[in-house]
A and B are shown apart, each in its own frame.
Chain A
């Protein structure tokens, strides 16, 4: 069974770039049919879909979000990543990586990110 694990700094300073990595185990990230996805959840709020990357490198982002997000993939490491530039306190949230298989979803446990000086 596919498992995902987020990693990255828990604390980021305002205006800096947040970088998170998701390591996929139990299967190859190049397996067809998976959209490797990032989702975030602000404190006490609902779930917000950020976007995805396919193993080919194609990406798609939530058009409702400003274009500060970049998702990339490293097939040699079986990882995909999220970068968020120019962070503010409003970007403080739990960030989840998800394997979207179209009809089934595998979630990481989430990583808390706090933006503060």
Chain B
């Protein structure tokens, strides 16, 4: 069973700063790695899929990278609306099962 670990648990940053969120898998995984943003009372919002592809309507300040066991979500310059909890999600090829990381909370410093 693949375990997905996110770090840090909390990231305290100011608007305009760069945010780097890490997602690590317990074994080498495919590129089926997605990132979500969730705000209180809302469903998760898909940001990135297939490691580095931005979902429709997602600003270019969001980017994803990585391979093997280590993946990163980067927000180049934080906007006030970017604060929330971010989850990474891996999908196995077969059977197609989803595994989520525990989340990183991005908060205002």
Q: How far is the CB of A100 from chain B (nearest CB, A)?
A: 6
Number of interface residues of B (CB under 8 A): 23
Q: Which of B1, B43, B49, B100 makes the CB contact (< 8 A) with A104?
A: B49
By a CB distance below 8 angstroms, the chain B residues around A35 are: 96
Given A46-B87, A102-B32, also A107-B99 (CB < 8 A): no
Main secondary structure of the interface of B (DSSP, over half): loop
CB-based nearest B residue for A35: B96
Q: Is the CB of B95 within 8 A of A107?
A: no
By a CB distance below 8 angstroms, the chain B residues around A104 are: 46, 49, 55
Size range of the chain A interface in the assembly: 20 to 34
By a CB distance below 8 angstroms, the chain A residues around B34 are: 105
Q: State in angstroms the CA–CA spacing of A92 and B99 once bound together.
A: 20
Asked whether any CB of chain B lies closer than 8 Å to the CB of A96, the reply is yes
Asked whether any CB of chain B lies closer than 8 Å to the CB of A80, the reply is no
Given A35-B96, A60-B97, A105-B34, also A46-B43 (CB < 8 A): no
By a CB distance below 8 angstroms, the chain B residues around A102 are: 32, 91, 96
- Selecting from A12-20, A47-55, A82-90, the interface stretch reads A47-55
Q: Which of B1, B43, B53, B97 makes the CB contact (< 8 A) with A109?
A: B43
Asked whether any CB of chain A lies closer than 8 Å to the CB of B64, the reply is no
Asked whether any CB of chain A lies closer than 8 Å to the CB of B50, the reply is yes
By a CB distance below 8 angstroms, the chain B residues around A46 are: 87, 100-103
Q: Is the CB of A47 within 8 A of B97?
A: no
CB-based nearest A residue for B55: A104
Given A60-B95, A103-B50, A105-B49, also A48-B43 (CB < 8 A): no
Q: Is the CB of B87 within 8 A of A103?
A: no
Q: State in angstroms the CA–CA spacing of A41 and B44 once bound together.
A: 11
Asked whether any CB of chain B lies closer than 8 Å to the CB of A30, the reply is no
List 11 A-B residue pairs with CB atoms under 8 Å apart, sorted by A's residue number.
A39-B98, A46-B87, A46-B102, A47-B87, A52-B96, A60-B95, A62-B97, A64-B1, A103-B53, A104-B46, A104-B55
